[in-house]
Structure 1
Amino acid sequence: PASSKVHPVFHVSLLRKVLKPDQQILRSLPPPEAHLQIPALILQRRVVMRGAKRVLQVLVQWSNGSTELATWEDLETLKQMFPRAPAWGQAASQQGKIVSGTGTIERQEEAQSRVRHIRKPRLPARLAGPEWALGLVTP
């Protein structure tokens, strides 16, 4: 209307960002526990340049996620955030099963059976007399 003081154009808040062709939109929201995900598998590696510095990036498949949801992350940053993640190749539990070999278990049991008995410390004979126990002698 002519009495309006707002110019009839689009406000910047109504504009939406255009996605690049290689970007995808998720069809559904991730599960609520998605923020608790850790790197599960490294799918690919690449080197990108940031200024004059080379940065190693990895394509990470997150725990409880599919390969379609994998993201490119800086390797060093990721290792600092998740130092014990299964993606780095350490042994992880397999549904509650033992991950070490049977030889390792046998060696651990053998080492436990050879526990060294530690002798109880005693006072020197000159300090162990009854007069010391009563507090009659002062050092």
Structure 2
Amino acid sequence: MQKQSTQTDGRNTSLMDKPHGDADCWPLSGKPYFYAVIDKLKHYQPIIPQELSEKLPTTTISAKIVYRGKVWDLLYLGGEVTKRFGMELWGKFMTENNITVGDACVFELMEGSSKSRVIVFKVQVLKDDFPLELVEKAEGFCKNNPIDLD
């Protein structure tokens, strides 16, 4: 697939890897992934779990996250004890995409290995916007109404 990108307002726009059009959610491809629910406790920053970070470089390198057909340039802090993205650029991504506490982000590793100079994650954002008046009635949202997996 040919990748095309242009620079606009500090962001790269891209035609890279958009098999599902503008859909916000799509099936995962089978590549390594992790998810994080945005919360204040972790200072709004997703922590990359060891199962995935052990496959990535142990130094700070460039990272790209692809969301809604656009590419954001970040830093991956692989040399830190807690593997994560650089806070300033991650915060810019959150602000530009109105990501708030309670939202979940699914990060699928599209390109990258322990020897990579750049890693690429495709991101899905699942908004925490379930109507409060329906929470108690919804399947799986309370202890008296658990999710049944059988």
Please tell me the TM-score bracket, short chain as reference: under 0.3
Give the structure with higher Rg (CA).
1
Q: Of Structure 1 and Structure 2, which has the larger fraction of its residues in strand? A: 2
Flag the structure with higher helix content.
1
